[in-house]
Amino acid sequence: MENMFRLMGSDEDFSDRRRSIWVNGPVIIGAGPSGLATAACLRDEGVPFVVLERAECIASLWQKRTYDRLKLHLPKKVCQLPKMPFPEDYPEYPTKRQFIDYLESYATRFNISPQFNECVESARYDKTSGLWRIKTSSSSAASGSEMEYICRWLVVATGENAERVVPEIDGLTTEFNGEVIHSCEYKSGEKYRGKRVLVVGCGNSGMEVSLDLANHDANPSMVVRSSVHVLPREVLGKSSFEITMMLMKWLPLWLVDKLLLILAWLILGNLTKYGLKRPKMGPMELKVVTGKTPVLDIGAMEKIRSGQVDIVPGIKRFSRNHVELVDGQILDLDAVVLATGYRSNVPSWLQESDMFSKNGFPKSPFPNAWKGKSGLYAAGFTRKGLAGASADAVNIAKDIGNVWREETKRVNKMRTRVGHRRCISVA
């Protein structure tokens, strides 16, 4: 692999049967958009790397844990990865399949070949050697091997959505007889036609699953426990995201929020009467303070206004074929979809406490969250989507690239001096 790594003394370590591999460059953990973007930028800087991925494909979240109707919620020009735009014939909001095709073409163009089925068990910094030691086990039944990668730089690119969040709700797993799935397992509403489905969660996933169920003639009810900001995806044909970014260049945050809420009221109307209460904090301020993204409406509000999607309050408990809500309502149910989001899994394997907090996100806020100490980096944890991941990738590659070039120059100079001495002595 272009001298990216070499095997070291695999038979001498009797305490741990893992093969040790020296990586001549950084190890990138995760082959999603963040990892691919970092790898491409490192390739452009002339720095070798190894990408480790626990699944058997790139972008496994997109390929295996998303519903069929999914499209990018933001315009393609703010979602493209560094150094390669989307094809011109792609629509403004590419489909799931188009985005996967784009990522596969991206990996091919920059010659990115991840080590698939490599599940990271632990990663720790060895202060004695000044190197990172990453222990992995193969998730492939065919190999079943264990490895230890040793490197100077470690890039964490496992993302904000590595593991599903499944809440504990009284009676859900012990008494309810219907189907229970997480939104990452949901593909289409076709199989739920005519069925009564409870969607738990009112974020972008919850709204879109409810919309898809309604489009397939199911009877969805969506649980809304707390306040939520819903904004139109477009205003007069222009992306709400682009309008927001433009306003934030010239106006204070509080005024941007005021204008966004006015536009939302003009286009979507008063949502309170449908059971959707807005937070006291404005949408952009809430995003900055908590990282919570406003919902971009792509058609769910029309279904809610028409009564095809019911809004219900929080859940008290489940029984055999029913759910009891906190307001005393009892609903008959056939299935439950948990649109309860995802979390970072970094604390489960990274043995480090300076850069990452217990929730699996960097302690430093954007734009300084990408770099830690001792050669540790983070890509894709800014809560700013693909644009934030791309910015991290560029910064990480430049930082490592600068060190790489300086050390390469120094080594070349030393070789030149040694060569001259040898010529003189021979003469």
Question: pLDDT tens digits, residue range 115-153?
Answer: 999 999 999 999 999 999 999 998 765 556 889 999 999
3-state SS class at 91:
coil
Q: Are 67 and 186 in contact (CB under 8 A)?
A: yes
Enumerate long-range contacts of 402-409, CB under 8 Å, 24 or more apart: 404/25, 404/45, 404/46, 404/47, 405/45, 405/46
Q: What average pLDDT does the chain have?
A: 90
Between strands 118-126 and 131-138, the pairing is antiparallel
* H helical segments located in 291-351: 300-306
The CB density around residue 152, as the number of other CB atoms within 10 Å, is 20
pLDDT for the residue numbered 6: 41
Instruction: Write a three-state SS string for 210-236.
Output: HHHHHHCCCEEEEECCCCCCEEECEEC
Q: What is the pTM of this model?
A: 0.88
pLDDT of residue 420: 43
Say whether pLDDT at 409 is over 70.
yes
Local structure of 299: helix, strand or coil: coil
To which residue do tokens 């979602």 refer?
A: 79
DSSP 120-140: EEEEEEETTTTEEEEEEEE--
Determine how β-strand 5-8 pairs with β-strand 19-23: antiparallel
Q: Which segments within 38-195 are labelled E, that is strand? A: 50-52, 118-126, 131-138, 146-151, 154-156, 163-164, 179-182
DSSP 170-194: TTTTTT--SEEEEGGG---GGGGTT
Task: For 301-355, write each residue's pLDDT tens digit.
Answer: 999 999 999 999 999 999 999 999 999 999 999 999 999 999 999 999 999 989 9
